[in-house]
Amino acid sequence: MEIPDIVIGRLPIYLRALTRMAAEGMEITSSHEMGQRLGISSAQIRKDLSHFGEFGKQGSGYQTQYLIKQLRRILRVDGEWEVALVGAGALGRALAHYDGFRDRGFRISLIFDNDPAKVGTLLNGFQVYDTARLGELIRQRSTTLAMLAVPAEAAQQVTDALVKAGVRGILNYAPINLVVPDGVWVQYIDPVVHLQRMTYYV
Amino acid sequence: MEIPDIVIGRLPIYLRALTRMAAEGMEITSSHEMGQRLGISSAQIRKDLSHFGEFGKQGSGYQTQYLIKQLRRILRVDGEWEVALVGAGALGRALAHYDGFRDRGFRISLIFDNDPAKVGTLLNGFQVYDTARLGELIRQRSTTLAMLAVPAEAAQQVTDALVKAGVRGILNYAPINLVVPDGVWVQYIDPVVHLQRMTYYV
């Protein structure tokens, strides 16, 4: 049976909360305790996790480290994924320097920009390559994940090149919807969309 | 009748697509055309919009500018909201310099950091204030929206201060869930959560 996408979407949230709990020294937790941290009902958490098996004994809670390990395995972040970054402007540079990727399964280690002043420079220890070499290098390294931090006008063209080179998952920071073929996943980050969602209520 | 939150969540996406269409010179559009750009069914778009009234005549499509104006009104972004930014590190600086806020209803014009080296400097033309003055200045200016670009460890404490000062909507970039009272909205941006959601499928 296929697991609903909305369930998959909650697993990274659970993993993040559990990792913090472990860092705080909590060896055991419960769906109740997780739910309180996350504002999600404990029944929902138990139901979500039950899609993937039994992770705790009735009444004795979850072993935090064990559940972390299982969620990493389910989400396939028990190793490290290379992520290509396209766009080394202010946002791209902030992403390249962000130290929250490594511990959570990702490493930005292939960086592109089309500005001649940036090409050849180092960003967080990695060389910035000309975007013209994007297809060649992504194919060579079999990179499957990319982040887009380019202007909206360039986003679809870069996406087409990424997909052609074999990228299957794109995290898009450009404020525009992308068209991709089946079998390619896109996630969007646009702060304005989130802000506008709140102004309706505030 | 209360409008489902998931519908509200799609309105900013519609507004973004329509704004781009208008920039491309499209004076008229349709739910079909919007759906193709967004990968959403035209029936869904018509149903979502119907919660708010009639925006087009049957068979003749939508006047792009008129629908933009109505969506801005519904989402309450027909004016400009002041947004407070807490954290002037790499991400905070990228956000402060991002030029995609102004046209879409927001302006980061009140900035805080607790680093003495940053306090008193200018960021995109605005002074960086000491986080210790957060409550005082937010109250004085009646700021209701804030962005959090601080380390996870500091996020809840800053949130408590923001809420106490009257902030009602928080866009949180720190990789941690926040606890807020009823009547305060939080939206989360965590690139790792988005990446982990894709690795399950890729």
- What is the tens place of the pLDDT at every residue in A137-191? 999 999 999 999 999 999 999 999 999 999 999 999 999 999 999 999 999 999 9
**Structure confidence at residue B59 (pLDDT):** 72
Cβ–Cβ below 8 Å for A191 and B101: yes
Give the CA count within 13 Å in the CB-facing half-sphere of B68. 18
Which candidate in B8, B200, B201 is best for mutational testing of the A interface (most A CBs within 10 A)? B200
B-chain CB neighbours of A83 within 8 Å are: 195
A-chain CB neighbours of B75 within 8 Å are: 196-197, 199-200
Cβ–Cβ below 8 Å for A98 and B91: yes
Q: Are B54 and B86 in contact (CB under 8 A)?
A: no
Report how many Cβ contacts below 8 Å link chain A to chain B: 180
Report ipTM for this prediction: 0.95
Among chain B residues, the shortest Cα distance to A194 is held by B187
Residue B186 phi/psi, 5-degree rounding, is -125, 135
**Interatomic CA distance for residues A169 and B103, integer angstroms:** 29
What are the pLDDT digits (tens) for B157-169?
A: 999 999 999 999 9
Q: What is the pTM of this model?
A: 0.94
**Structure confidence at residue A135 (pLDDT):** 98
**Interatomic CA distance for residues B150 and B158, integer angstroms:** 9
B-chain CB neighbours of A197 within 8 Å are: 8-9, 11-12, 75, 187
* d(CA B106, nearest CA chain A) in Å: 8
Cβ–Cβ below 8 Å for A190 and B77: no
